Chains A and B, each alone.
Chain A
Amino acid sequence: MKPITAVNDFVIKFANVNGSGSASANTLFAKAILRMGVPVSPRNIFPSNIQGLPTWYEVRVSGSGYLGRRGGVDLMVAMNPQTWDEDLKEIEAGGYLFHDSSKPLPKSKFREDINIIGMPLTEICNREYSDPRERQLFKNIIYVGALSALLDIDIKAVEKLIGEQYKGKERLLTPNLKALHMGKDFAQANLPKTGLKIAHANSVGDKVFMDGNSAAALGCVYGGATVAAWYPITPSSSLAEAFTRHCHKYRVDKATGKNKFAVIQAEDELASIGIVIGAAWNGARSFTCTSGPGISLMQEFIGLAYFAEIPSVIFDVQRGGPSTGMPTRTQQSDVLSCAYASHGDTKHVLLFPEDPKECFDFGALSFDLADRLQTPIFVLLDLDIGMNDRLCAPLSWDDTRRYDRGKVMHFEDFESGKPFGRYRDVDQDGIAYRTYPGTHPAKGSFFTRGTTKDRDARYSEAGPDYVENMQRLLRKFETAKGLVPAPVERRAKHNTRFGVIYYGSTAPAMSEALDQLDAQGLHVDAMRVRGFPFNDDVGEFIDAHDQIFIVEQNRDGQLRTLVVNECVADPAKLIPVLHYDGSPITARFIVREVVEKLRMFNVAPLRRVAQ
């Protein structure tokens, strides 16, 4: 058995018990590598439970900067006896198992084709600490110290991070540093070196390391949101909590100490979206954040916002569905339920950010779009992008940027005699003028309602009024095409008749897969869709290729359905590549599927391949 040797290119996975305090130690490990200039992409894989169940932290180290999940594990830090067997199975042949050897295990509990590194962690902790909690917490720091020795991680980088974490808290700083060195010294003296190494590099540049939910929340601050209403649900809660945190930092009036924001933890999702709609009706920028079950609960109100034309922003951090599904796993399976949310004929604007940078950008943009289009805007994140720290370009803001408040009639407009009819399409773009309640004593007041109405907002059950209204809403949707972010294209090195469409958090795995396909001589043009309604470029891209792979993380090919519906594309041309086990999609999976399907083209009818 040949041990794996790799520099700045491997996967390490920590198997822990939820609630054991391992999260901060594991993050410390990942950040230390980052500080050495080597890109990492960590992922929390956690149960829907507070304490006691298995949890994993998987860190991909990639000097090339690939941030998608790779699959397979080169070094397993097995700290959870409960998952020992399945953790062992994941290790690549020639890989490494780091474990607590305080209690001897029979030979049958190991594999012949991997390298075993045992360290008596419990024994060391029991000797050193008497408090049970200290024993547990410092065990985590001790293994970080040991790994730093085994992988050549710069101990100064780890020390610096600990120093930042416990700045001004000497009582915590000193024992943590002591535990770190205890682990390092033991490993140096007693453990064999691995073939996995971290070497200083300069591949991180000015990138930042953050999670999508926090970035989206900051986008809300920059985008001018003043009202947030939410109901706790994994994996979106941290978005609302981050917004609150950011607001306390950036939005408190210095002179008075008063808040220029309101955050309401509502009694349920129905109230959350109701509050958002009420605030937006009254001219404030407002949003809610939720996940699939919340979207289900909000359907009636979303229909009201669509039909009554009230700007509202909804962040859907998708998780495994349907129903309670897999609450702590990732999917892209709310695409259709958001695109056509509520009853009757509806179509909604969707945004698909690929990383925290776009979570920030699209977060801020969503409020301009909502005001401009006077309609609900969905920003579709998922757990993988929302809750995991990821490297991305630094966030940026143009100080000359002004908020687009859309078509609003103000007091002066009424005074100047400008005509007003709430649902009149004066500019032929499907967007009518609105006015905030209380604007003018005699002009502009109207009733907002979910029932049908005429152009002047008067209740009407007349068929022609209804049809005219619905047609105008379609015109508005057409206008939205030019306002949502355009797709991003990546052309293959050679002309090709194959294309791939993908979106959202699939992006890092996809770009790695494209490189791998290219290396195999398989040339594929790629288009990353960033918004719905689809820009005309999407249809043109489909027309320009014989076969299009649509890569997504759900069972039913929801984006593909949307493309078929809205681009009038031949379904036989659109080949689904679907990953939906709750784990983030990998380049390995995409390449395998694409290669397999390309092979099938030679033997199976096209329509069968497309199924």
Chain B
Amino acid sequence: MTYLAKPKLHHPSLPTNKLGFTRRDYEGAISTLCAGCGHDSISAAIIQACFELDLPPHRVAKLSGIGCSSKTPTYFLGSSHGFNSVHGRMPSVLTGANLANRELIYMGVSGDGDSASIGLGQFAHSIRRGVNMVYIVENNGVYGLTKGQFSATADKGSKSKRGAANMDEPIDMVALALQLGATYVGRSFSGDKDQLVPLIKGAILHQGAAFIDVISPCVAFNNHAGSTKSYDYVREHNEAVNSLDFITGRTPITTQFAEGTVQDVTQHDGSVIRLRKLHPEYDTHNRIAAMNYLQERQAAGEVVTGLLFMDTDPEDLHAHLGSVEAPFNILDEDALCPGSAALEAFNASLR
């Protein structure tokens, strides 16, 4: 269960950061996701990024919606406050939290079901408002917790575990984020730690709406009809004992490849995605070029990864609102209440 805490035994020789924390101080509870789930690799990358940035874990607020991805905040930054909100509505809760205290770091973790379907509106509006946050979508194209329905990012023509083909066009969240005005936009692959960790670090340091789409293979993809290891097959051939779900554990998929190159990555279900890592010379400051490049490579059957766009002088929601520097949640009566004299004058204006 998700409340199972990890033993806190530290090896004395574990390296520490400037705050004297080891990497383990950034971990959370034991993951209950399927063995081999890409989401766990993303959690590991977040842990690594926060450790390397010397972040005080308690100054990070981690928020999520509902779904496999939204369970993951339990598995990193155990000393941070977390918030599992409702399905697809993490962005509004995060926005409110950010308004209340602009001094914390806000990490919104969501999935493709959470953000691209029920939460598409909230995703869009939090991005266009410029909420200062790291918005990570752990994108596997499927609803894992409800056993394998297509999500809105599933590729057209891809097949579900039951063999049904998806005939709807996929939503490209990176393209959306670019169009909506995100000031930091990246895409990565859960198994590409070398790329993902710095991408997350950059997003945390960015003072605006940072969005990262992380392709994250789902072990349950393998659970389709025809497989002798599928959930349905096992249930059909396992009459007496119980009706527990069964998902075969897999080794997490990892990859490593050079900037500017293309890599084919085979997922758990045998499907192949073609990742293109941006060239080091790529201009990350041109939003229009980024949108064009993304579409160009997509037409060629490739998925572009890396930091696609960054505004070096971003404005966040607080700047738009002209808010005071002090967090709202520490303002008291003296700062907020106009007092009885002002009220007397107000009364006089109403007679």
Indicate which residue in B56, B58, B97 contacts A279 across the interface (CB closer than 8 Å).
B97
Per-position contact with A for B313-351: 1 when CB-CB < 8 Å, else 0? Answer: 000001001111100111111011111101100110011
Query: Is A436 part of the contact surface with B, judged by Cβ < 8 Å?
Result: yes
Q: Select from chain B the residue with minimum beta-carbon distance to A222.
A: B337
Residues of A within 8 A of B1 (CB): 459
Per the 8 Å Cβ criterion, residues 71-130 of B in contact with A are 73-74, 78-86, 89, 91-101, 103-104, 121-122, 124-125, 129
CB of A587 to closest CB in B, whole Å: 26
B28 nearest in chain A by CB position = A447
In the complex with contacts A224-B337, A440-B58, A282-B101 CB distance below 8 A: yes
When distances are taken between beta carbons in the complex, the residues of chain A under 8 Å from B2 are 459
Q: Are B343 and A396 in contact (CB under 8 A)?
A: yes
Number of interface residues of B (CB under 8 A): 63
A123 within 8 A of B: no
Q: How distant is the Cα of A257 from the Cα of B322 in the complex, in angstroms?
A: 8
Choose from B78, B80, B125, B321 the contact partner of A262 (Cβ within 8 Å). Answer: B321
A362 to B: closest C-beta gap in Å? 16
Given A271-B125, A445-B81, A227 and B340 contact (CB-CB distance below 8 Å): no
In angstroms, Cα B121 to Cα A281, docked, is 22
Given known pairs A253-B324, A275-B92, A283-B100, the reply for A438 and B61 (CB within 8 Å) is yes
Q: How far apart sit A368 and B160, CA to CA, in the bound complex (Å)?
A: 51
Check A259/B322 contact, CB under 8 A, given A274-B85, A445-B58, A447-B84.
yes
Segment with Cβ contacts to B, from A172-180, A232-240, A448-456:
A448-456
Q: 8 Å CB contacts to A: which residues of B195-227?
A: none
Shortest C-beta distance, B56 to chain A (Å), equals: 6
Q: B6 within 8 Å of A by Cβ? A: no
Contact A279/B335 with A395-B346, A437-B61 known, Cβ cut-off 8 Å: no
Whether the pair B340, A283 counts as a contact (CB closer than 8 A) is no
Contact between chains at B95 and A284 (CB < 8 Å): no
Contact B337 A446 (CB under 8 A): no
Task: Report yes or no: A281 in contact with B328, Cβ–Cβ below 8 A.
Answer: no
Is the Cβ of A279 less than 8 Å from the Cβ of B99? yes
B100 touches A441 (CB 8 A): no
Given the known A-B contacts A209-B350, A221-B338, are A441 and B56 also in contact in the complex, defined by CB atoms under 8 Å?
A: yes
A524 at the binding interface (Cβ < 8 Å): no
- Among A101-109, A398-406, A553-561, A598-606, the stretch that binds chain B is A398-406
Residue A588 lies at the interface, judged by CB distance under 8 Å to chain B: no
Interface check B3, CB cutoff 8 A: yes
Q: B59 at interface (Cβ–Cβ under 8 A)?
A: yes
Contact at B96–A450, with CB atoms within 8 Å? no
Q: Does A267 contact B (CB under 8 A)?
A: yes
Report yes or no: A271 in contact with B121, Cβ–Cβ below 8 A.
yes
* Chain A contacts for B84, CB-based, 8 A: 447-451
Please tell me if the beta carbons of B101 and A218 are within 8 angstroms of each other in the complex: no
Q: A224-B333, A227-B328, A397-B343 are in contact. Are A448 and B81 (CB under 8 A)?
A: yes
Q: Mark out the residues of chain A between 255 and 276 whose CB falls within 8 Å of any chain B CB in the assembled complex.
A: 256-264, 266-268, 270-276
Q: Known: A208-B347, A268-B121, A445-B79. Is A284-B336 also a contact (CB below 8 A)?
A: no
Q: Does A226 contact B (CB under 8 A)?
A: yes
Q: How far is the CB of B349 from chain A (nearest CB, A)?
A: 9
Interface core residue of B78, B91, B124 (most chain A CB under 10 Å): B91
A129: CB under 8 A from chain B?
no
Residues of the A chain whose Cβ atoms lie less than 8 Å from the Cβ of B335: 260
**Contact yes or no, A271 B343, CB < 8 A:** no
Residue in contact with B83 in the complex, picked from A261, A272, A449, CB distance below 8 Å: A449
Closest residue of chain B to A271 (Cβ to Cβ) is B92
- Verify A402–B329 contact, CB threshold 8 A: no
Least Cβ distance of B112 to chain A in Å? 20
Which residue of the partner chain, among A209, A222, A266, contacts B338 with CB atoms under 8 Å? A222
Task: Enumerate chain A residues within 8 angstroms of B318, measured Cβ to Cβ.
Answer: 262
Q: In the complex, what residues of B have CB within 8 A of residue A261's CB? A: 323, 328
Closest residue of A by beta carbon distance from B63: A278
Q: Are the C-beta atoms of A274 and B93 separated by less than 8 Å?
A: yes
Which positions 262-318 of chain A face chain B at CB distance < 8 Å? 262-264, 266-268, 270-284, 286, 300-301, 304
Bound CA–CA A458/B350 (angstroms): 52
B100 CB contact (under 8 Å) in A226, A396, A447: A226
Contact with B along A417-453 (1 / 0, CB 8 A): 0000000000000000000111111100111111100
CB nearest neighbor in A for B58: A441
CB closest residue in chain B, given A441: B58
Q: Quick check: A395 and B347 within 8 Å, CB to CB? A: yes
Q: Is A471 an interface residue (CB 8 A)?
A: no
Known: A250-B342, A259-B323. A403 touches B333 (CB 8 A): yes
Inter-subunit contact A262/B323 (CB<8 Å)? yes
Specify which of A226, A270, A278, A399 is in contact with B339 (CB 8 Å cutoff): A399
Residues of B within 8 A of A440 (CB): 58
Q: Which residues of A contact B100 (CB under 8 A)?
A: 226-227, 278-284, 286
Please name all residues of chain B whose beta carbon is closer than 8 Å to the beta carbon of A204 when the two chains form the complex. 351
A446-B81 in contact given A258-B322, A394-B347 (Cβ < 8 Å)? yes
Interface: A210 (CB within 8 A): yes
**Which residues of A sit under 8 angstroms from B104, Cβ to Cβ?**
282, 437-438
CA distance A515 to B78 in the complex (A): 65
Q: Tell whether, in the assembled complex, residue B96 and residue A281 are in contact, meaning their CB atoms are under 8 Å apart.
A: yes
Q: Kindly state the separation between the CA atoms of A480 and B349 in the bound complex, as whole angstroms.
A: 36
Chain B residues with Cβ below 8 Å from A441 are 56-58, 79
Instruction: Please tell me if the beta carbons of B3 and A460 are within 8 angstroms of each other in the complex.
Output: yes
29 A-B interface contacts by CB (under 8 A): A206-B351, A208-B350, A208-B351, A221-B336, A222-B337, A222-B338, A256-B325, A258-B322, A258-B323, A259-B321, A260-B336, A262-B323, A267-B122, A267-B124, A267-B125, A274-B93, A274-B122, A275-B95, A276-B96, A278-B85, A278-B98, A278-B100, A283-B329, A284-B329, A286-B99, A286-B100, A448-B83, A448-B84, A458-B3
Given contacts A266-B125, A448-B82, A450-B85, 15 further A-B contacts (CB under 8 A): A222-B337, A226-B336, A227-B99, A259-B322, A260-B323, A260-B328, A278-B63, A278-B93, A278-B97, A279-B97, A283-B100, A284-B101, A300-B86, A437-B104, A458-B3
